[in-house]
Chains A and B, each alone.
Chain A
Amino acid sequence: MALGDPSGDRELVIIGGGPAGLAAAIEARRAGVQTTLIEERETLGGQIFKQPPPGFLVKRPAAMGADHQAGRRLIERALASGTEILTDHVVWSVSGGLTNEVGVYEPGASARTLRATTLILATGAYDRPVPFPGWTLPGVLTAGGAQAMVKVQKVLPGRRILMAGSGPLVLAFAVQLHRLGANVVAVLEAAPAPDIRGVAGLLAAAAAGNWGQLREGIRYLAYLRAHGIPLLYGHAIARAEGADEVERAVAVRVDRSWRQLPATERAFDVDTVCVGYGFSPSLEIPRVLGLALGYDEQLGGHVPSHDRDMASSAPGVFVAGAVAGTAGGAAAIEEGRIAGIAAARSLGRLTAAEADERMAAPRRHLSSLQRFRRALDASYPVGAGIHGWAAEDTVVCRCEEVTKGEIRRNILPGSRDPNSVKALTRAGMGLCQGRNCGAQLAAIFSAETGRRLEDLPALSPRLPVKPVPIGLIADPSRTVPTRIQKPSEE
């Protein structure tokens, strides 16, 4: 179908069918808003509430874990809400202004443009890419990727696994893997062992309604101890080695800033390294829309700015969940609810008073969750040294195979913009559209030129937001227009 044929105007389009998007849809529909939700995958639930693939039959839901259950409930409520749900649809373009236009395609089928008065971006986050020597070897994969393989596909990523990362998810996942029959050889936690202050902070935050989370954490620690799985605090992955796949992994001690300490290496005989050092928000759509961004290393870098109603800097555009730097399904749900209610209010479907009333409970819950999160983050602060784990000959742009040294050698004199390195080396030009190398490219550029990370322009936000097949968006009926657009004179 040709572009430019609006397939209908909608009051609200939600991009992303994870916990934030689903919760937003439920609240928006509750207020009577005409809502469309777009999800790239075949199944709803996002990364947190991953659902089994079509074709698998869940015979004992109770055995699938709390997340699966919670996810199923949320999904069912969304399905029953009257939201128009488009799964297996990829958003490839978004433009803002008086009306937001969303270009979407269904692989192998067709493309169309949706127009929406309001937008909620619930596009999630992805594992923070951390280059280190050997990270491109088969057998090195993100914790998120390993989880998807294990939880959804029920396949183990390897036989002998080293977990390397930071934060409670690393612990949880190591335990989960082991329970499913994997041989988890060790867990590397980059943060130092928790001290009295950190523990006290966690206890205080837990007292505000988060006991469940704290208990869980303690159980995980006990499990690792009981099964003789070493948990090495203050350690990180130094490198992975092997010919065609991982045969060995080397750990190293790190200081509080996560800088690797010399002569502290320790080798592990493993075929798999799961890497989990936090998440980076999926910023493609916020960037293309020109949303204002803040910078927070803890949250994975740039994050769209928003107010307490989850409104971004663009009128009619809201953000919720992991894309806003928010960790955890529970908090994502509450942010989604707030965004859905705020969108309904902006459309005139709810009065200010009604909106305030509906937002009260989610705000309270979110506040409590955020307290616990802050305490946790204090225990697992991301160290800036992580940007230095790549060696000169470590591939930084995986798609185009550009190393750190090649990046350093291709910074033009006087350049203030990492995009110039992209132009010379092709770093950032591959199919992943710079998702896996952008942050490191900026870090290297910053170190070489002395310009601060926060001040560097990002890899230029461009369309398409995701690769899109030509056959779906080409319009062979058009002729070359003769009108000419002049650039700004400035």
Chain B
Amino acid sequence: MSAGERRVDTHGAVMRGSPITIEIDGEAVPTYLGETLAAAMLAAGRRVFRRSPRTGSPRGVYCGIGICYECQMVVDGRTNVRACVTPVRDGMRANTQRGPAEGVSPVPSWR
């Protein structure tokens, strides 16, 4: 396997869906029908899915099964879309998500 290739070579055991192109942060990214947006991101070596609201920290795939809500991106204009449970669609436009609601106040301290 080449150094950059992250898609598993199944040696013909599994045939991926038709190849399509989606747009991530304005760039064309090749993927396959049947893949999730998260898989397409990871296959393209893109691992920062969003920046957290309070501190702007980079976040990416954690649970991979749709319960942690870390992999949220803006997809076709909709915010808070979990990439790991969203199948790609030809012409999909995804953006890394910042916030929403930036400038959130810090955690108070009782003592």
Contact = CB atoms under 8 A, between A and B. Distances in A.
Given A58-B13, A154-B14, A181-B8, A138 B59 contact: yes
B87 interface: yes
Contacts of B36: 53, 153
B80 A431 contact: yes
Interface string B24-68: 000000001111101100110001110011110111111111111
Given A63-B10, A127-B63, A432 B68 contact: yes
Interface of A: 40-41, 47, 52-60, 63-64, 126-127, 136-142, 144-150, 153-159, 180-181, 244-245, 395, 398-403, 406, 409-412, 424-426, 430-432, 435-436
A140 B62 contact: yes
Contacts of A59: 12-15
Nearest to B70: A398
Contacts of B9: 181
A484 B22 CA distance: 53
B67 A401 contact: no
Report the interface size class on chain B: 35 or more
Given A53-B36, A57-B14, A137-B58, A181 B67 contact: no
Contacts of B107: 401-403, 406, 410, 425-426
Given A55-B17, A156-B6, A181-B9, A145 B48 contact: no
B6 to A, nearest CB: 5
A159 B43 CA distance: 11
A55 to B, nearest CB: 3
A412 B33 CA distance: 52
Residue among A40, A41, A138 with most chain B CB within 10 A: A138
B35 A138 contact: no
Nearest to B60: A138
Contacts of A409: 109-111
B64 A148 contact: yes
A181 B3 CA distance: 10
Nearest to A61: B13
A444 to B, nearest CB: 14
Nearest to A243: B58
Contacts of A157: 42, 61
Nearest to A430: B69
A183 to B, nearest CB: 9
Contacts of A142: 62-64
Contact of B59 (A136, A147, A149, A156): A136
B77 interface: no
Contacts of B54: 400-401
A63 B110 contact: no
A53 B35 contact: yes
Most buried by B among A54, A144, A148: A148
Given A52-B14, A401-B52, A426-B107, A141 B61 contact: yes
B47 A139 contact: yes
Given A144-B64, A155-B6, A424-B110, A149 B69 contact: no
B59 A145 contact: no
B61 A145 contact: yes
B108 interface: yes
Contact of B110 (A148, A402, A411): A411
B3 to A, nearest CB: 7
A319 to B, nearest CB: 19
Contacts of A156: 6-8, 42
A319 B109 CA distance: 41
Contacts of A57: 14-15, 17
A406 B105 CA distance: 13
Contact of B60 (A55, A154, A159, A245): A245
A145 B101 CA distance: 28
B34 A144 contact: no
Contact of A432 (B10, B34, B38, B67): B67
Contacts of A398: 59, 62, 68, 70
A249 to B, nearest CB: 15
A127 B62 CA distance: 10
Nearest to A60: B13
Interface in B81-97: 84-85, 87
B60 A155 contact: no
B108 A410 contact: yes
A356 to B, nearest CB: 37
Given A136-B52, A137-B58, A138-B48, 14 more contacts: A41-B85, A53-B17, A57-B15, A60-B13, A60-B14, A64-B14, A138-B47, A139-B60, A141-B64, A144-B64, A159-B3, A400-B54, A402-B107, A431-B80
Nearest to A63: B13
Contacts of A56: 14-17, 34
Nearest to A424: B110
Contacts of B48: 138, 244-245
A355 to B, nearest CB: 34
Contacts of A180: 8
A40 B85 CA distance: 10
5 contacts: A153-B38, A154-B7, A244-B47, A244-B48, A245-B48
Highest count of chain B CB atoms <10 Å: which of A136, A155, A412: A155
A58 B62 contact: no
A155 B43 contact: yes
Contacts of A140: 62
A138 B61 contact: yes
Given A56-B17, A144-B63, A431-B69, A245 B58 contact: yes
